[in-house]
Structure 1
Amino acid sequence: MTKITALSLSIALALSACSDDNQMTTQTQGDTTVAASNDKPEVTMTAEQASEKLNQLFAENFEEGLALNPIQATAIGDKRYNDQLPNFLSPEFQKKSHDFTVKWLDKIKSIDRGLLSGQDRLSYDVFVYQSEMQLEGEQFPGHLIPINQSNNIASFFAQLGSGKSLQPFETVEDYENWLKRVNDGIAVMDQIIINMNQGIEQNVVQPKALMEKVIPQLKAHVVESPEDSVFYQPIANLPESFSAEDKERLTAEYKASINQQIVPAYQRLHDFIKDDYLEHARDTFGLSEQPNGEAWYNYQLKTYTTTGLTADDIHQFGLDEVARIRAEMKQVMKEVDFEGETLAEWFAYVQSNPEFYYDNEEDLLQGYRDLQTKVNKLLPTMFDIEPKSDYEVRAVEAYRAESSAGASYMPGSPDGSRPGVFYVNTFNLKGQPKYGMETLSIHEAAPGHHFQISLQQEVEGLPMFRRFGGLSVFSEGWALYAESIGKEMGMFTDPMQYYGRLSDEMLRAMRLVVDTGLHAKGWSRQQAIDYMMENSSMADTDVISEVERYIAWPGQAVSYKVGQREISRLRAEAEKALGDQFDIREFHTQVLIDGALPMPVLKTKIREWIKTKEQS
């Protein structure tokens, strides 16, 4: 899973700009167009002027957006707002976000789309699409359920302050910036309580099973001594270059901040959830159980797939894929001369055989670092582009490991000064089988998330909102597609590693069934767990974590297979149309070079490329 934290996601969504084909009325006059809107004067503009104006607006929009979204600025290495963290859950911020989206949508739509071509038209469509989706989503009260065990703003805040995440701790000013950002962060955590109380009043509440997992996450930050806090780590690693006076001053200020601000804030939130919220939390699990829940879930599916697929469509797609993958798994059983006859026997065998698992964390992490070297050597066979930035392998931090996914990726900075991070969850080593390492490395790192996101950030010709934006169906679809080309690339030569590939694809197929089952068909948490245990060799702790993630994040999990299917279909279409002209490296460049695109836009782009190739 791409690393999109609760905080960065919420702010990014609040500011994303978005579309269907709604356009202004235009009157074409030769090579110019008179654009007319209800209350605006007519503006005559040439195609060249339209392009120039559009890109000027994109630049202004992104610049203004950074002031509203300081976390994004920090993430891309822009330090101007590193001392700020807006209270993005407050009514004032939500109003500001709405006005921002409406203002910039109007500005972009004042340009006649008919005058645009190439990248400009692509950027226009993506911007309008995202903005209109954002406005459509404002009818649903996500701000009343702002945290859960998977998307936990409080845990993200701890990541920021740990000295091992987005927030830089290199200069004295960096250290001072964090102390200022803490003040804002405390306001956000207190706003969580306000909003969740409003949720109780409106009967918009989280499932109890999820919130019980939040309590220990918060408790981990309620420490007796500041030295025991993750927020103290920047002080424990003070640069040697700092003066003795600065070291003494900063140490005292950080201790005071931890004791007087941070720990009390976590204690307040912990006590509220444990002593008050839990008794109001619901025993149901699906989004359809919330007020207006069916429409809310349909919006989630539309958001995460960028298609018109219904819950029934997706559920059936999942059932079909689960059946197909089960058949392929049985072929692997034969290939390795497994003596059992059923998949249940096979699953029990791979779960219990110690040769498939590491017995210490460092060996597991080193195994992934060795794969990093191996895969990097194979990439040129399938790609004629590669990112400049590198990535590193890290264990998921202990305070969030129990409820986190098995792996995730956090993008680096576009200038390469901060590498991307491939996080591996070592909480349960039985959840990290050796046979799953090749496929997981491909998905999270290269040529999956790290490869795709880094390339997107490095394409200087794209507007900034496209370089640093994202769509789950594209990024997750690409990462799963990357797994599917592993054999072509020279991976999965060991049948067990190929089983690992099938095992991970099975996970994504089961997600289609379970996500729609939970949120549209009334499935219980236990029903979802039983289904996944029946169809996989996953550790029970991983199954529980996955199911609870789908409960917490409706619709996101279906984006993987939907995106992969679309990309694979486009590849098959290109291969059939171009025959000997088809070059897999060129196709991959065409998919990746324009950043994350809605699936209908990607389809149009690839088909136009095919036509161009056919005519050449």
Structure 2
Amino acid sequence: MSKLIVRLGTLACLGIVTIAAAANDDAARRFHALSSQEWTWRQAQFAGADDEDTHAQPADHLPRVDAATQAARERYWTDVMKRLDAIPVDALHGDERVSYLVYRNQVETLLADQRFRTWQMPFNSDTSFWGNLGFTARRPLHDAADYRRYIGQLCDIPRYFDEQIANMRLGLARGFSVPRVTLAGRDQAIAEVAHARDRDSVFYTPFRQMPVNIPEDEQARLRAEGIAAIHDAVAPAHARLLGFMRNVYMKQSRNSLAAEAMPDGKAFYQSQIRKYTTLDMSPDAIHALGLREVARLRAEMGQTIRETGFNGSFAEFLHYLRTDPKFYPKSADELLKQAAWIANRVNGKIGEYVGRLPRQRFVIEPVPAELAPYYTGGRGGAGYYMVNTYDLRSRPLYALTALTLHESSPGHGLQMPLATEHEGLPPFRRATYLSAYGEGWALYSERLGVEMGLYDTPYDRFGYLGYQMWRACRLVVDTGIHHLGWIREQALVYMRENTALGEHEIETEVDRYIAWPGQALAYYLGEMAIVDARARAEKALGERFDLRAFHDTVLALGSVPLPVLQQQVDRFIASGGKSPYADEKPCDCKSP
């Protein structure tokens, strides 16, 4: 009898396991079907788009952005959320569960933006729909088909701009707009395209040197079509947009600064905090954290000032850094070459810190002239590291090491290609970007420069701490402006008193925070999450902790919400600190 009971118990357990496995398979199948269907739809919706948050298939047209399309998108993602809610997440395990959580965060964010109608404010002081098209014009085209698609996009600009203008009018009508104080000079890039001669237009860039695989007679036809598109479509559309910006938008946009001053402002600002940080922290909690971190970093900066031998106050040292010519490049070439030298030094050390490196490399080039006056000090991504050579008196060399680590390798120039090249991830994880993760990793990369020994002098170390302080100040300034009612001058003074940034960069940065609520919070909160996760792993694993395995674990995720990152570090600890690539067989290749 006892043997029978044991056997029945065993069969019962096997039955439970079988049922659980079947439930897992069913949940996984439903999730794969839903996410694949939506991702295909999403790519088609944004076909032809080009910005860091939207990855879509190439097309001979630009996305539709009219109000009817926006309403259809909201209905679609609402239905997707209902179907996601019906999938039992507890039935998913391992990477399946991670993918579900990442995907759910994406859809929640997309749907929230639709519900708050963020498409009625399609630009800010840093990023714009017309500026993104300028970047498209600089992308390499490889064959005649690429050129035909590009010409199709040029011909579609009038329709695209008209829809954006209609959306901005809707935003103005309900008080949902970019603050007026941040708009000065933002029309210049539009004016340059509107008034440029056809062959001088930025949109003619791909035609100046065409691939040799295109026959000369076809090159001539494509150039002629391109010139016609620029003359008949691109320039007139920019002229209409310029008139709207100067005569309507810049005169009717709101005088208030705070996101919370707009319709449903408190909920909107909280949604932007969640969008960019992936956390549900309140503005008050973030502000308080920022004040604590600013105080901590101020003490470290004071110690570094003493190491330089400077005798004077903190304010006097900042004045010294801002005014002594020895800290600034004498030419754009000097700045670019120094950035290249720093990047090369990283190349010699990176293998000691990261096990899996990307195949794609990056080029170092200046920020385009028409964008540079209002652009950040640098911008990096998959395949590029742009250095702003405008106003060299605001580009301190002592901060260039931190900037380069952030924007190139091991920052954006390493993390983004690794995600794209990770064939084990579903497309929606390989081709999307979460600011808290991506900017957090890039800021953490600046910290790695200390371990790499790249901050050679106390001034370089002060530059690193200054960049950390800059991002900590963002926690204070962003919440100060959008939640506590700070005025622009209050934010400028706070940045002047606590950071080593030049005056031009302080102004462009503060305007960026005013016009782009929540985005600036991602950096420091993301870095803190990675630093905390590493400290937790080091403590738990002791001598078994391997830094390269930890970094590979973080980077192998693609781009994930911070709570998911913490869960995956828990798995890393439970595995004994095992690298995600530990089970891969070494290459059995033989050199030819």
Give the structure-2-normalised TM-score: 0.90
CA distance 1:139–1:242, shift in 2 (3 Å): closer
| Pairing partner for 1:437 from 397, 400, 415 | 400
Matched, 1:68 2:45: yes
Greater Cα shift, 465-474 or 132-141: 132-141
> Quick check: 1:149–1:214 contact (8 Å CA) kept in 2?
yes
Question: How far apart are residue 33 of structure 1 and its match?
Answer: 5.5
Distance 2:578 2:169 in 1: 62
CA distance 1:592–1:193, shift in 2 (3 Å): same
Question: How far apart are residue 321 of structure 1 and its match?
Answer: 1.4
Residue of structure 2 in register with 1:12 after alignment: none
Residue of structure 2 in register with 1:239 after alignment: 211
- What's the CA shift string for 1:163-198, capped at 9, x where partnerless? x23xx4221221111111123332121112211222
Matched, 1:270 2:237: no
Residue of structure 1 in register with 2:16 after alignment: 30
Letter in 2 for 1:228: D
| Pairing partner for 2:102 from 126, 146, 154 | 126
- What's the CA shift string for 1:387-411, capped at 9, x where partnerless? 1111111100001111111111232
> Quick check: 2:180–2:250 contact (8 Å CA) kept in 1?
yes
Find the structure with the greater CA-based Rg: 2
Distance 2:369 2:387 in 1: 11
- What's the CA shift string for 1:93-143, capped at 9, x where partnerless? 213322442344444444432332110011112212322233233331312
Matched, 1:355 2:332: no
Question: How far apart are residue 277 of structure 1 and its match?
Answer: 2.1
Report SS of the residue matched to 2:482: helix
Instruction: For 1:138-287, list aligned pairs within 5 A.
Output: 138-161=114-137, 164-165=138-139, 168-287=140-259
> Quick check: 1:356–1:435 contact (8 Å CA) kept in 2?
yes
CA distance 1:487–1:613, shift in 2 (3 Å): same
- What's the CA shift string for 1:430-482, capped at 9, x where partnerless? 22211111111111111111211111111111111011112111111111111
Distance 2:83 2:573 in 1: 33
Report SS of the residue matched to 1:422: strand
Question: How far apart are residue 73 of structure 1 and its match?
Answer: 9.0
Distance 1:284 1:360 in 2: 39
> Quick check: 2:549–2:578 contact (8 Å CA) kept in 1?
no
> Quick check: 1:405–1:545 contact (8 Å CA) kept in 2?
yes
CA distance 1:80–1:615, shift in 2 (3 Å): closer
Report SS of the residue matched to 1:393: strand
> Quick check: 1:66–1:73 contact (8 Å CA) kept in 2?
no
Segments of structure 1 that go 5 or more residues without pairing to the other structure are: 1-27, 35-43, 412-419
Report SS of the residue matched to 1:409: strand
CA-atom RMSD in angstroms: 2.5
Greater Cα shift, 329-338 or 277-286: 277-286
CA distance 1:591–1:298, shift in 2 (3 Å): same
Residue of structure 1 in register with 2:583 after alignment: none
Matched, 1:371 2:342: yes
Question: How far apart are residue 76 of structure 1 and its match?
Answer: 12
| Pairing partner for 1:113 from 74, 89, 95 | 89
- What's the CA shift string for 1:569-591, capped at 9, x where partnerless? 11111111111111111111121
CA distance 1:272–1:432, shift in 2 (3 Å): same
Q: Percent identity?
A: 33
Distance 1:65 1:146 in 2: 18
Question: How far apart are residue 72 of structure 1 and its match?
Answer: 6.2
Greater Cα shift, 498-507 or 129-138: 129-138
Greater Cα shift, 51-60 or 134-143: 51-60
> Quick check: 2:46–2:54 contact (8 Å CA) kept in 1?
no
- What's the CA shift string for 1:231-253, capped at 9, x where partnerless? 11222223344333223322222
> Quick check: 1:406–1:432 contact (8 Å CA) kept in 2?
yes
| Pairing partner for 1:98 from 61, 74, 92 | 74
CA distance 1:406–1:29, shift in 2 (3 Å): farther
Distance 2:578 2:260 in 1: 50
Give the total of aligned pairs. 566
Distance 2:409 2:482 in 1: 32
Residue of structure 2 in register with 1:539 after alignment: 502
Report SS of the residue matched to 2:500: coil
Distance 2:263 2:232 in 1: 39
Matched, 1:487 2:450: yes
Residue of structure 2 in register with 1:329 after alignment: 301
Question: How far apart are residue 293 of structure 1 and its match?
Answer: 1.1
Instruction: For 1:568-607, list aligned pairs within 5 A.
Output: 568-607=531-570
Question: After TM superposition, which residue ranges in structure 1, 4 or more long, deviate above 4 angstroms?
Answer: 72-80, 106-110
| Pairing partner for 2:471 from 508, 517, 522 | 508
Distance 2:219 2:358 in 1: 38
Letter in 2 for 1:482: S
Question: How far apart are residue 80 of structure 1 and its match?
Answer: 6.1
Greater Cα shift, 95-104 or 375-384: 95-104
> Quick check: 1:288–1:519 contact (8 Å CA) kept in 2?
yes
Matched, 1:554 2:529: no
Letter in 2 for 1:133: T
Residue of structure 2 in register with 1:387 after alignment: 358
> Quick check: 1:222–1:266 contact (8 Å CA) kept in 2?
yes
- What's the CA shift string for 1:374-425, capped at 9, x where partnerless? 10111122222211111111100001111111111232xxxxxxxx111111
| Pairing partner for 2:484 from 521, 529, 538 | 521
Distance 2:154 2:224 in 1: 15
Report SS of the residue matched to 1:502: helix
